[in-house]
Amino acid sequence: MESLIDYLVPTLLVIGTVVFMEWFAAWSHEHIMHGWGWRWHKSHHEPHDETLEKNDLYAVIFAVFAVGLFWIGSHWFWPLWWIAVGISIYGILYFFMHDGLVHQRWPFKYVPRKGYLKRVYQAHRLHHAVEGRDGCVSFGFVYAEPVDQLVRQLQDNKQKLGSKTQREEDQRAPAE
**Cα 116–chain centre separation:** 17
Going from N- to C-terminal start, the domains of the chain cover 4-172
Predicted pLDDT of residue 52 = 84
Condensed to tens digits (0 to 9), the pLDDT of residues 36-77 reads: 999 998 888 888 777 788 888 999 999 999 999 999 999 999
Q: What is the pTM of this model?
A: 0.81
Predicted pLDDT of residue 144 = 85
Q: In which residue ranges of the chain is pLDDT below 70?
A: 1, 163-176
Predicted pLDDT of residue 168 = 52
Predicted pLDDT of residue 60 = 93
Residue type at position 93: L
